[in-house]
Amino acid sequence: MKSYFEQNDKVLSSHHMLLSLVDIAKQRGVLPDVLLKGSKIFYSDLLREPLKISSEQLQKVVLNSIKLLPQGDVAFLLGRRLFPSHLGNTGNALMNCRHLADMVRVIQTQQIPLFPLLFMTIKRHKQQHFFAFNQSLTTLDTRYYHFLCEVLASALVCAIKWRLGYLPKLCFTFPYAEPDYIEQYQVNLGSDISFLNSVTQQPLQISIKSDDLYLRFCDHNQSLKRHYLNLNSSLLPCNQKAQAVGLIQYILHFIDKNNSATLEQVASSLLISTATLKRKISAHQSSYQQIIDQYKQQQAMFDITTLGLNNDKVANKLKFSDTTNFRRSFKRWTGMTPNELRQCYITNKGLTD
Amino acid sequence: MSHYFFTSNKYLVAILLFTLVTICSTAITIGEFKAINSIAWVDIIGEGGMMLMIFTWIVFTLISRPAGRVTTWLFTGLLLTEISMLLDFLDEFIHYAAHNSWFTTVESFPAAIGMVLMTFALYQLHFEQQTINTQLRRTERYYREHSLTDFVTQLYSAQYMKQQLKYELNHVKAHHSTFSLIMLDVRKFNDFNQRFGYAQGDFLLGEIAKLLLMNIRDGDLACRYASDRFIVLLPNTTANVARVISGHIEQAVAHLAYKSGDSSTAIYPKISSCVNQYQGQQSYQEILAQLNHKMSVVKYESTAARSDVTCTNVPVSN
């Protein structure tokens, strides 16, 4: 059993997003087979048995839906429907959590059944939690990536509203330019939304006051929560400790755990040759160096803009041999030096326009 | 929808087919085919093309218009023109004997009558369109673009409102006047969806949209902003007047006893609203962002106030 999946591996459950997408399109007057055109999925098969689909197939359907229903609300509607009924046991487990922090723990362990295509990393600073979401596979079409971000954000807002009864202050930073249908973001996600279009390779970031994470919900049940989580882990094949994650996610995790990991080390942990790994990464239109750069760039951006660290400390943290080297790399990643970036944040409060 | 109009015009479809078949069969019976080498292919392409185009016009008329007087006039005019075109086209293949040559001499009459009838039909269509325009007031201003309508409520979408806001801002700057915007948000809409289903949610939005239209003035424009949020543009209006009107809408919606499907149990939806007045100093993006922010604050206050009563959220230690 592989410990990773790629674009064309059929690992995603069809009921997770596809069925709702078909349903929404049907409600808007689009025939299911028109929506599924070109994805090699047939509506009759979807109804017959639970299917597994690949990210590639989902991308085709999502792009079809964007073309057929261009108002931009589909992703948000989909996100609203996701929680909790389409999430199976994990949804039930989430419904029995004590508070948001408890839900975050479940989300971390249950990423694959919940949202296999984006994964979360958490940082804390000054009574504020920062959740960063990166792609577990590099999606080749940006519209598909935006769609996934919208679904995730809308599902999170819906879940928080449902469990807490109201929406606490959340700040969203989307790593792309403001879309035409900004009204969908405003209405579905609240008013604290910014778009980061001058620097690429950043994650979708959501921040919340740390105190809000520990507001206790009216109803919760720890034993039920454990029960549903046990049901989930009993579904795993017995020879496997954890579920497969996206290839890029696997590599980013590996880099995070083993500082200055080489391509050879990653390949050997995946039980494949370096040449094969290289080929697989380039099929994602990326390279190992790009993945490492993305990792370091994100760390550096956060350390500089949010933590306010100086160049020496950041360079040291990221294991650069000296600060000049770090400054040069940073300029290559973002098009500006660390000091120019700091100036940006001092003068106009960020890179958003 | 197109299927629906097609069946409602089924007599006209029958007449169309009958006429075309009769003409073709008569021509074939009384005439005889020309030799291949005497056929003018250029003429066939030109006349055949015109015949096909007019046939397409007839089909579009039949599938896009409900049955009625104007439709019948339009159809008759087009059909007569089509008859002329068809006769002209058949001439290219078929040669008529001397005693049957009347069949070709009459070929231009139907088109002449048809053109007169179509002119009359378009004159009637003008009056029909005027009636429809009054039905469309409050949902449309100056400019029509069917691709911007919202599927669920049949109102125009946010995109249309942005266009109109741009227009209004220029107008306000030039005339030193003012305008107001009302934003309305259906409360607990997600709960409603979870309980009664998403199809019912869409119906509810449609009903609220109708109430909204009934409670605004001519010259105002109501659009669906996104999801459960609506926006109304009130030209030449101060915030005070706008507040009164938004109060009327809130009251009207509060008295709506919505029935889900066949059930006779009434559901009373509630909406929150906020109002802002503008002079034209800001861009439309700023205006919309500001209004949405105000709406979030209003919503947050109303829900937070209620959740204090039903459940106290106390921070606990980690």
Domain CATH number, residue A326: 1.10.10.60
Same domain, A70 and A192: yes
Chain A residues within 8 angstroms (CB to CB) of chain B: 23-24, 27-29, 71, 73, 76-77, 80-81, 99, 101, 158, 161-162, 164-167, 180-184, 186-188, 190-191, 211, 214-218
**Is residue B86 in a domain?**
yes
Q: How many domains, in total, are found in chain B?
A: 2
Same domain, A119 and A218: yes
The dihedral built from the CA positions of residue B309, B311, B317 and B318, taken in this order, carries a sign that is negative
Beta carbons of B280 and B172 less than 8 angstroms apart: yes
Same domain, B127 and B161: no
Q: The domain that contains A79 carries what CATH number? A: 3.90.1520.10
Question: For B146, which DSSP code?
Answer: G
**Is residue B52 in a domain?**
yes
Return the higher-pLDDT residue of B136 and B128. Answer: B128
For B48, the token pair is 């055949």
**Is residue B314 in a domain?**
no
Q: Which residues of B touch A161 (CB under 8 A)?
A: 190
Q: How far is B23 from chain A (nearest CA, A)?
A: 39
Distance from CA of residue A310 to its chain's centroid? 29
How many residues would you count in chain A? 353
**Is residue A234 in a domain?**
no
| Domain that includes residue A174, residue range | 4-224
Same domain, A135 and A32: yes
Same domain, B105 and B197: no
Same domain, A302 and A211: no
Nearest to B292 among A24, A29, A191 (CB): A191
Coil, helix or strand at residue B278: strand
Same domain, B122 and B186: no
Q: Which residues of B touch A218 (CB under 8 A)?
A: 310-311
Beta carbons of A24 and A82 less than 8 angstroms apart: no
Question: What residue of A is the nearest CA neighbor of B200?
Answer: A27
pLDDT band at B313 (very low <50, low <70, confident <90, very high): very low
Same domain, B127 and B203: no
- Report DSSP letters for A111-173, one per residue: HHHH-TTEEEEEEEETTEEEEEEEESS--S-HHHHHHHHHHHHHHHHHHHHHHHSS---EEEE
Same domain, A219 and A276: no
- Report DSSP letters for A274-324, one per residue: HHHHHHHHHHTT--HHHHHHHHHHHHHHHIIIII---HHHHHHHTT-SSHH
Nearest to A158 among B190, B198, B293 (CB): B190
Beta carbons of A213 and A183 less than 8 angstroms apart: no
**Is residue A287 in a domain?**
yes
**Is residue A302 in a domain?**
yes
What pLDDT is recorded for position B65?
Answer: 87
What pLDDT is recorded for position B317?
Answer: 41
Nearest to A165 among B150, B228, B311 (CB): B311
Beta carbons of B164 and B231 less than 8 angstroms apart: no
Residue from B198, B299, B302 to probe the interface with A (highest A Cβ count within 10 Å): B198
**Is residue B12 in a domain?**
yes
Under an 8 A CB cutoff, do B317 and A191 touch?
no
Mind listing the pLDDT tens digit of every residue in chain A (353 residues)? Answer: 577 888 778 777 767 788 888 888 888 888 888 888 888 888 888 887 778 888 888 888 888 888 888 888 888 988 888 887 777 788 888 888 888 888 888 888 888 878 888 888 888 888 888 898 988 887 668 888 889 899 999 988 888 888 887 788 888 988 888 888 888 888 888 878 888 877 777 888 888 888 888 888 888 888 888 888 888 777 666 555 567 788 888 888 888 888 777 888 888 888 888 888 888 888 887 888 888 888 888 888 888 878 877 787 888 788 788 888 888 888 888 778 888 777 777 665 555 54
**Cβ neighbours for B308, distance < 8 A, ≥ 6 positions apart:** none
Q: Is the pLDDT of residue B281 over 90?
A: no
Q: Which amino acid belongs to residue A101?
A: A
Same domain, A171 and A269: no
What pLDDT is recorded for position B184?
Answer: 92
**Tokens 């309508």 belong to which residue?**
B149
Q: Which residues of B touch A188 (CB under 8 A)?
A: 226-227
Under an 8 A CB cutoff, do B150 and A186 touch?
no
- Report DSSP letters for B5-40, one per residue: HHHHTHHHHHHHHHHHHHHHHHHHHHEEEPPGGG--
Beta carbons of A184 and B227 less than 8 angstroms apart: yes
For B82, the token pair is 């089509």
Residue from B296, B309, B318 to probe the interface with A (highest A Cβ count within 10 Å): B296
Question: What residue of A is the nearest CA neighbor of B287?
Answer: A183
Same domain, A60 and A163: yes
Same domain, B114 and B151: no
Q: Which residues of A touch B158 (CB under 8 A)?
A: 181, 183
Same domain, A275 and A187: no
| Domain that includes residue B105, residue range | 2-136
Q: How far is A191 from chain B (nearest CA, A)?
A: 5
Same domain, B115 and B197: no
**Is residue A99 in a domain?**
yes
Same domain, B194 and B56: no
Same domain, B153 and B89: no
Same domain, B161 and B131: no
Same domain, A193 and A295: no
Q: How far apart are CA A230 and CA A170, in angstroms?
A: 31
Nearest to A214 among B159, B293, B316 (CB): B316
**Is residue B141 in a domain?**
no
Same domain, A215 and A322: no
**Is residue A191 in a domain?**
yes
Backbone φ, ψ for residue A41 (5° rounding):
-115, 140
Q: How far apart are CA B18 and CA B83, in angstroms?
A: 12
Q: How many domains, in total, are found in chain A?
A: 2
Residue-wise pLDDT for B171-211, tens only, equals 888 888 899 999 999 988 888 888 888 888 888 998 899 88
Quick one: which H or E segment has residue A12? Answer: strand A12-13
Q: How far apart are CA A249 and CA A6, in angstroms?
A: 10
Distance from CA of residue A300 to its chain's centroid? 19
The answer, yes or no, to whether ipTM is higher than 0.90 is: no
Backbone φ, ψ for residue B42 (5° rounding):
-65, -45
**Is residue A241 in a domain?**
no
Same domain, B208 and B239: yes
Under an 8 A CB cutoff, do B190 and A99 touch?
no
Residue-wise pLDDT for B30-60, tens only, equals 888 888 887 888 888 998 999 999 999 999 9
Under an 8 A CB cutoff, do B307 and A165 touch?
yes
Q: How far apart are CA B20 and CA B294, in angstroms?
A: 64
Q: Is the pLDDT of residue B16 over 90?
A: yes
Report which of B255, B259, B214 is spatially closest to residue B232, judged by C-alpha positions. Answer: B214
**Is residue A343 in a domain?**
yes
Q: Which residues of A touch B199 (CB under 8 A)?
A: 27
Q: Is the pLDDT of residue B315 over 70?
A: no
Same domain, A276 and A137: no
Q: What is the mean pLDDT of chain B?
A: 84
**Cβ neighbours for A62, distance < 8 A, ≥ 6 positions apart:** A21, A143, A144, A147
**Is residue B94 in a domain?**
yes
Q: How far apart are CA A137 and CA A110, in angstroms?
A: 17
Of the candidates A167, A198, A224, which is a domain's last residue? A224
**Is residue B313 in a domain?**
no
**Cβ neighbours for B34, distance < 8 A, ≥ 6 positions apart:** B92, B93, B94, B95
Same domain, B291 and B156: yes
Q: How far apart are CA B247 and CA B133, in angstroms?
A: 27
Q: How far apart are CA A211 and CA B317, in angstroms?
A: 9
What pLDDT is recorded for position B116?
Answer: 94
Q: Cβ atoms within 10 A of the Cβ of A319, count?
A: 10
Of the candidates A174, A205, A224, which is a domain's last residue? A224
**Is residue A271 in a domain?**
yes
**Is residue B310 in a domain?**
no
Q: How far is B184 from chain A (nearest CA, A)?
A: 11
Same domain, A300 and A178: no
Same domain, B172 and B237: yes
Of the candidates A171, A206, A224, which is a domain's last residue? A224
